[in-house]
Structure 1
């Protein structure tokens, strides 16, 4: 289902005073390449998608926020002067953004809002970042005269996750939601926060996610283990190369130099991260040249690294990757932190129908369920719709 302004407005008018407000939207995101690189000071390559959050918002002349979640059929009121805010997570995002925007000097006042989203849950497309970015952009427009720069809006969303949700996330999701640009993906340097748009208009190809419907409970502790592995290797390398701050600064020769001083597991994980650094740069060149076959090859290489070196895949994701390969799909890899979620696939249009049919049937035969197909179109970032 494609979410429309009319879907949101009809619920807004019903639940509030019958007069319209302003409507804003922010997208979810995909990431073409660059996984587990953010905390290693490296690069990511996200793009905004058509799916996202739409919210209608209207100042109400009080210090209270009155919010209705259309998807969850849930309503809450909270005061902007309350230190604790609501307990329900979906409303804490809005409370947190209000508080963070106020810290930035935006004189937020009370408002009525109804909001809904069509970002598939559990697909790793960052519906939470879309929600944060939508309200950050809206509050800046309604109360701040657009004085807050885009990067500050993204950082406000990240701070909301840290301070009100308890999730110590990076900046990629909020960055992609705020800065998205139709027909382009963005290379973000997670150390300097510099970014560059790259054209992404693969004529003759489709981009599609296959959601494995797998969510592994080990993801949090396993993530911490891998982060520690990276830090262990950096500590060893720094003895010989003091300027190395993260694995972004390391190369294969440095890794070989310390191989006898770190565990085999740590060395293998560092090998993946260093390789991913080079793959992101190679994809940058391929995109500028319009060489989507090369982009696809690097996607497969990344999947191999995530599965066999970083060990964050799972049998279901590896199976979908193998099906893609057998169907002649240009590129396929696990997207996101791993242990479940989606594969992202770059498919020639003439192969698309066969790939989807084959993947559904083969996956159902092996795992007893069909993967969920999510077609992806690269879209614009946070914006006012009307």
Structure 2
């Protein structure tokens, strides 16, 4: 269906072929959760669910935008990037706004976009919209942006125009993804390294709880403040500490009496998670999926008990996999309080894994389990 249906809609709407068609993928994060704003590492990959853009430049300054999946369209001016009553359009206008601020000169465009990234599953459809448009405009107007600059424009659009205080991981993974690889992104200096993750006999499965508990945003901000408090306490004893990357478990043990029990647990999780990503990457280099999977389970335990951002539905889905020999690893993925678990499962056992988990979830929560099997792909590119 995609991208053919997007191109067809473009031709039907604008009576011309698009100049280019761009594919901007969603992303998963295999390990390294809540470490992005704590100067840690994350380990994302782009996936084979994507937003597609059929786009052409115009000779005036108008943007004619069609959201294919929402059957909605609007027009705005590149010279006057103000918020739209169509919330979907603000991701596009935000990118235009950031490019304007960066002093880039470009005209209007016709665009149709849509795709198969599941909404609300925590695989970053919004980041894909931003990276896809940044990439497309850079190409059709020869703006000369590097890949990292396009990532930064996309993130700034979400922060400044849409008003979501996200880190850089989602946009980075959508742009820099590489087939059959994960990206270890250092959130302190944005250096990165690819690690191969060959899965000839396994698949990555996302299991969507179908819930989003309203705690999310307020708790996210609270966690950030708790981490800042812990780091200040640590730095008061160890002046050499510049960021979480300088903190050891020995330092943490020494500082524990000066922290509340809650703040100590947050700190313990962050130090442990930064270390887990390093160990998990070493395991990938050794093709040791067993160790990698164990680290995923350890991350979930930390998110559940120390960072306290899980929920009963996520915990139940992870718990159900622990005794299943076909599952290498499982954990909650994303900000928490709902969304998906990410699982590495033996291909040959996929059907029985899904059947068993679906039945158990229905029985426990009277809710249908939605799942997605994903493959790791290249980042944003021309189709």
| Paired position in structure 1 for 2:182 | 185
**1:191 & 1:297 partners in 2: Cα distance?**
26
| Paired position in structure 2 for 1:367 | 365
Does residue 55 of the first structure (1) align with residue 53 of the second (2)? yes
**2:354 & 2:87 partners in 1: Cα distance?**
34
| Paired position in structure 1 for 2:129 | 131
| Paired position in structure 1 for 2:346 | 348
Cα deviations by residue, 1:195-228 (Å, 9 ceiling, x for unpaired): 0011011221111000000101111111111111
Task: Measure how far apart 1:18 and its partner are.
Answer: 3.6
**1:230 & 1:249 partners in 2: Cα distance?**
14
Alignment match of 1:76 (pick from 57, 74, 82): 74
Cα deviations by residue, 1:94-133 (Å, 9 ceiling, x for unpaired): 1111122233343221111111021101111000000000
Cα deviations by residue, 1:216-246 (Å, 9 ceiling, x for unpaired): 1111111111111111111111112112133
Cα deviations by residue, 1:152-197 (Å, 9 ceiling, x for unpaired): 0000001101111001111000000110111111000001100001
Question: Pairwise mapping of residues 27-176 of structure 1 onto structure 2 (< 5 A)?
Answer: 27-144=25-142, 147-176=144-173
| Paired position in structure 1 for 2:13 | 15
Alignment match of 1:221 (pick from 218, 238, 261): 218
DSSP-derived class of the 1:107 partner: coil
Does residue 279 of the first structure (1) align with residue 276 of the second (2)? yes
**1:244 & 1:324 partners in 2: Cα distance?**
39
What is the RMSD of the two structures over their aligned residues, measured on CA atoms?
A: 1.2
**1:44 & 1:20 partners in 2: Cα distance?**
36
Q: How many residues align?
A: 382
| Paired position in structure 1 for 2:301 | 304
Alignment match of 2:265 (pick from 263, 268, 278): 268
**TM-score normalised by the chain length of structure 1:** 0.97
**1:159 & 1:356 partners in 2: Cα distance?**
38
Alignment match of 1:239 (pick from 227, 232, 236): 236
**1:308 & 1:67 partners in 2: Cα distance?**
45
Instruction: Give the direction of change, closer, same or farther, for the CA distance of 1:85–1:231 in structure 2 (3 Å limit).
Output: closer
The answer (yes or no) to whether the contact 1:24–1:134 under 8 Å persists in 2 is yes
The answer (yes or no) to whether the contact 2:81–2:94 under 8 Å persists in 1 is no
Instruction: Give the direction of change, closer, same or farther, for the CA distance of 1:83–1:130 in structure 2 (3 Å limit).
Output: closer
**TM-score normalised by the chain length of structure 2:** 0.97
Question: Pairwise mapping of residues 200-215 of structure 1 onto structure 2 (< 5 A)?
Answer: 200-215=197-212
**2:319 & 2:296 partners in 1: Cα distance?**
13
For structure 1, the 5+ residue unaligned runs are none
Does residue 6 of the first structure (1) align with residue 1 of the second (2)? no
Task: Measure how far apart 1:296 and its partner are.
Answer: 0.5
The answer (yes or no) to whether the contact 1:199–1:288 under 8 Å persists in 2 is yes
DSSP-derived class of the 1:174 partner: helix
Task: Measure how far apart 1:85 and its partner are.
Answer: 4.1
Task: Measure how far apart 1:37 and its partner are.
Answer: 0.4
For structure 2, the 5+ residue unaligned runs are none
